[in-house]
């Protein structure tokens, strides 16, 4: 039973709005009452999770790691887990209690928001091996790498995330993201991208490009409807030369799972995808799991069954 295992909790108290903070507090109280061997640590700044995870597993063995936060916290924990030795990481079950504003990965995995229902899932201890994506990219002229568990976005998607992180609007949630999408659309210029992935390679002006392990991004947009965290493949979608008025007219497709049915959307699955920006003097932005990290050129690689995640029984 999971309740009798050694459990490490990493809590980001800054994540989310007032409602999600209340849910997080109720969840932590319930967890504390139920678990025999529990350690709760707080991350107080972006980038702190790596040191917390590294030091915690250096001094003690844990059976389960639980994150309490949003998609950004989720991404930090995943990357920190991947830095652990494989022999340690493979023995750990990871679970997320969604306490952010978007909670896109949790939406795709059907992770419950209710603390009591989450604990019922936890008691059952259902876990599955989950794929990850790995992207090699440029940041300030230096090649970097980053794992992602949900969706990586380039061009307009990443531009919006960067603007949010620069404080263009105060909060990240579904309504704010949608408002940003429409407000910035007028001045945005499409990028010309070169995508290399075997028979699916192409060059085109693109409004946005996405690589998914899971389906949702931007607070509920089903931007990569074919994505699965269990098939060992990356799901790719590109909106090729989509006109600005078409973005507005077809906005419903971003939410109802018919995105790939539009004639200007190219979609395919692959284990490896390269994306290059062909615009002279321009950078094409990159975000992963809702966090801005750098720009193209990007090389995406599928990492099959990289981690073990706690999921509802039916997922």
143 with 115, same domain: the answer is no
- Check whether residue 14 and residue 162 sit in a common domain: no
Q: Please list, in sequence order, all residues whose beta carbon lies within 8 angstroms of the beta carbon of residue 306, skipping any fewer than 6 positions away.
A: 82, 129, 130, 131, 132, 147
Predicted pLDDT at 66: 97
| Contact assessment for residue 105 and residue 70, using Cβ atoms and an 8 Å cutoff | no
Q: Which residues, including other chains, have CB under 8 Å from residue 167's CB and lie 6 or more apart?
A: none
Q: Which domain holds residue 52?
A: 2-125
Q: Are 195 and 202 in contact (CB under 8 A)?
A: yes
Q: How far apart are CA 146 and CA 291, in angstroms?
A: 11
Whole-number pLDDT of residue 177? 64
User: 115-138: string of b/e by CB count within 10 Å (b at 16+)?
Assistant: beebbebbeeebbeebbbbbbebb
The DSSP symbol for 2 reads G
Place of tokens 């109280």: 29
- Do 138 and 287 sit in the same domain of this protein? yes
Helix ranges restricted to H, 186-251: 244-249
Same domain, 86 and 149: no
DSSP structural state of residue 199:
G
Within-domain flag for 285: yes
| Torsion sign across C-alpha atoms 81, 82, 87, 93 | positive
Pair (117, 140) in one structural domain? no
What is residue 190's predicted lDDT score, i.e. its pLDDT?
Answer: 93
Q: How big, in percent rounded to 5, are the helix, strand and coil portions of the chain? A: 30, 35, 30
Q: Are the CB atoms for 277 and 75 separated by under 8 Å?
A: no
Q: What are phi and psi of 283, to 5 degrees?
A: -105, 140
Distance CA 151, CA 284 (A): 16
- The pair of structure tokens assigned to 139 is 């940041």
Q: Residue 174: what pLDDT? A: 58
SS3 64: strand
Please indicate, yes or no, whether residues 157 and 284 belong to a single structural domain of this protein.
Answer: yes
Domain count along the chain:
2
**Domain boundary, last residue among 62, 94, 125:** 125
Tokens of 259: 């995105």
- pTM, two decimals, is 0.93
- The span from the CA of 52 to the CA of 133, in Å, is 23
Closest CA to 20 of 312, 314, 219: 219
Residues 218 and 75 in one domain: no
- Residue 310 domain flag: no
Residue 41 belongs to some domain of the structure: yes
pLDDT of 164 reads 80
* Length of the chain as a residue count: 315
pLDDT score for 29: 95
Residue 213: in which H helix or E strand, if any?
none
Per-residue pLDDT of the chain (315 residues; tens, 9 = 90+): 577 889 999 999 988 788 889 999 999 999 999 888 999 999 978 889 999 999 999 989 999 999 999 999 999 999 999 999 999 999 999 999 999 988 999 999 999 999 999 999 998 878 999 999 999 999 989 999 999 999 999 999 899 888 888 765 555 555 666 676 777 787 789 999 999 999 999 999 999 999 999 999 988 899 999 999 999 999 999 999 888 888 888 888 988 889 999 999 999 999 999 999 999 999 999 999 999 999 999 999 999 999 999 999 776
Q: Report the alpha-carbon angle 260-268-305, nearest 5.
A: 115
For position 211, which CATH number holds? 2.60.200.40
| Spatial separation of the C-alpha atoms in residues 307 and 78, rounded to whole Å | 8
């Amino acid at each position: 039973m999971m309740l009798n295992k050694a459990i490490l909790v990493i809590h980001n108290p800054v994540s989310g709005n007032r409602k999600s903070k209340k849910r997080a507090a109720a969840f932590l109280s319930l967890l504390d009452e139920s678990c025999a061997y529990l350690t709760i640590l707080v991350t107080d700044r972006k980038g702190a999770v790596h040191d917390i995870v590294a030091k915690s597993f250096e001094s003690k063995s844990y059976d389960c790691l639980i994150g309490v936060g949003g998609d950004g916290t989720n991404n930090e924990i995943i990357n920190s887990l991947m830095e652990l030795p494989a022999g340690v990481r493979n023995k750990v079950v990871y679970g997320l209690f969604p306490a952010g504003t978007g909670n896109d990965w949790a939406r795709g995995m059907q992770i419950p928001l209710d603390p009591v229902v989450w604990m019922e899932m936890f008691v059952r201890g259902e876990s599955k091996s989950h794929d990850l994506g790995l992207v090699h990219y440029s940041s300030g002229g230096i090649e970097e790498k980053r794992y992602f568990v949900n969706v990586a976005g380039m061009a307009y998607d990443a531009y919006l995330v960067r603007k949010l992180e620069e404080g263009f609007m105060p909060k990240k949630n579904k309504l704010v993201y949608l408002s940003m999408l429409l407000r910035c659309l007028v001045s945005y210029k499409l990028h010309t991208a070169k995508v290399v992935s075997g028979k699916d390679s192409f060059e085109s002006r693109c409004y946005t490009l996405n690589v998914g392990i899971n389906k949702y991004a931007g607070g509920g947009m089903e931007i990569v409807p074919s994505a699965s965290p269990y098939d060992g493949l990356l799901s790719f979608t590109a909106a090729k030369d989509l006109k600005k008025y078409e973005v507005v007219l077809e906005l419903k497709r971003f939410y109802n799972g018919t995105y790939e049915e539009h004639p200007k959307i190219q979609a395919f699955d692959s284990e490896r995808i390269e994306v290059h920006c062909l615009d002279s003097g321009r950078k094409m932005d990159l975000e992963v799991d809702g966090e801005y990290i750098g720009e193209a050129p990007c090389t995406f690689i599928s990492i099959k069954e990289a981690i073990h995640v706690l999921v509802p029984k039916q997922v």
